[in-house]
């Protein structure tokens, strides 16, 4: 995994600030972690979000995009029956866009381009994962996710002197990636809230709808 750049730092700092603020606000709320089953009952959670993506075959910079995850609970009270937790299976569709005007990357058939090159591309990821939720109060819960996914990346570039006729100036890549994320859910009512996720391969910030 390549090191994320400034866009990641900004959104990560903002997301952590949200986590800290909401946790502080909820510090006096009644704890329910020791009340098994004391959490909203829902058939599916829908979670639209914005994201920062730092896992891409072509770039060493951070991409940005949109996505949607859906999680279906299959274990309403467990796997630890003495605390307030549940587990579900999740599916996602995430799109991210990358661009660069220096082409300071390798990986495109082993070629590295210099300044003056324009490049842009996109990535689509389809993660499948298991989500384990822990409900600490009526407002605050945390979760961990683990799984894998399929990605498809495509890119095109134009060298400073243009793409010669017949030259190869585009590429695509499809493969499998590991998926490891953790985050927090903050409910504003029984069914709607804010969800923050950070890990690999991206950071997300979005809404949570328990249906």
pLDDT in tens, 81-130: 999 999 999 999 999 998 776 555 544 444 555 556 777 889 999 999 99
- The answer as to whether 134 is a domain residue is yes
CA neighbor of 124 nearest in space, from 44, 201, 10: 201
Extract the runs of DSSP E, i.e. beta strands, from 136-201: 140-158, 170-187, 192-200
Residue 179, phi then psi, degrees to nearest 5: -130, 115
- The answer as to whether 56 is a domain residue is yes
**Which residue in this structure is represented by tokens 């949200």?**
18
- The answer as to whether 202 is a domain residue is yes
- The answer as to whether 1 is a domain residue is no
pLDDT digits (tens, 9 = 90+) for 164-174: 665 667 788 89
Most confident range (mean pLDDT) of 68-72, 169-173, 189-193 is 68-72
The total of other beta-carbon atoms located within 10 Å of residue 43's CB is: 8
CA neighbor of 122 nearest in space, from 192, 185, 64: 64
The CATH number assigned to the domain holding 61 equals 2.40.160.20
- The answer as to whether 78 is a domain residue is yes
The total of other beta-carbon atoms located within 10 Å of residue 34's CB is: 10
The whole-angstrom separation of Cα 186 and Cα 162 is 50
The whole-angstrom separation of Cα 42 and Cα 210 is 6
Model confidence, pTM: 0.80
Which residue range forms the structural domain that includes residue 127?
6-210
Q: What is the per-residue pLDDT for 60?
A: 65
Question: Per-residue confidence at 46, pLDDT binned at 50, 70, 90?
Answer: very high
Q: How many domains does the chain have?
A: 1
User: Which one-letter DSSP state was computed for residue 12?
Assistant: H
Q: Which residue did the predictor score with more confidence, 8 or 84? A: 84
Cis peptide before 39 (omega within 30 of 0): no
Helix, strand, or coil here: 26?
A: helix
Radius of gyration of the chain (CA): 20
- The answer as to whether 147 is a domain residue is yes
User: Which one-letter DSSP state was computed for residue 31?
Assistant: B
Q: Which residue did the predictor score with more confidence, 164 or 30? A: 30
């Amino acid at each position: 995994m390549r090191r994320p750049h400034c866009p990641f730092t900004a959104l990560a700092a903002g997301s952590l600030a949200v986590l800290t603020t909401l946790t502080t606000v909820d510090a006096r709320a009644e704890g329910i972690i020791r009340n098994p089953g004391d959490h909203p009952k829902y058939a599916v959670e829908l979670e639209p979000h914005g994201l920062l993506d730092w896992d891409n075959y072509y770039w060493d910079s951070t991409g940005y995009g949109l996505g949607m995850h859906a999680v279906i609970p299959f274990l309403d009270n467990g796997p630890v029956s003495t605390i307030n937790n549940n587990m579900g299976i999740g599916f996602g569709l995430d799109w991210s866009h990358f661009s660069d005007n220096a082409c300071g990357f390798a990986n495109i058939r082993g070629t590295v381009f210099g300044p003056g090159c324009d490049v842009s591309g996109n990535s689509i990821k389809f993660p499948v994962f298991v989500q384990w939720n822990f409900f600490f109060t009526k407002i605050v819960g945390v979760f961990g996710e683990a799984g894998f996914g399929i990605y498809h990346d495509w890119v095109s570039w134009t060298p400073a002197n243009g793409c010669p006729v017949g030259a190869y100036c585009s590429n695509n890549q499809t493969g499998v990636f590991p998926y490891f994320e953790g985050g927090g859910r903050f409910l504003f009512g029984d069914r709607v809230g804010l969800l923050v996720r950070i890990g690999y391969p991206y950071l997300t910030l979005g809404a949570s709808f328990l249906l």
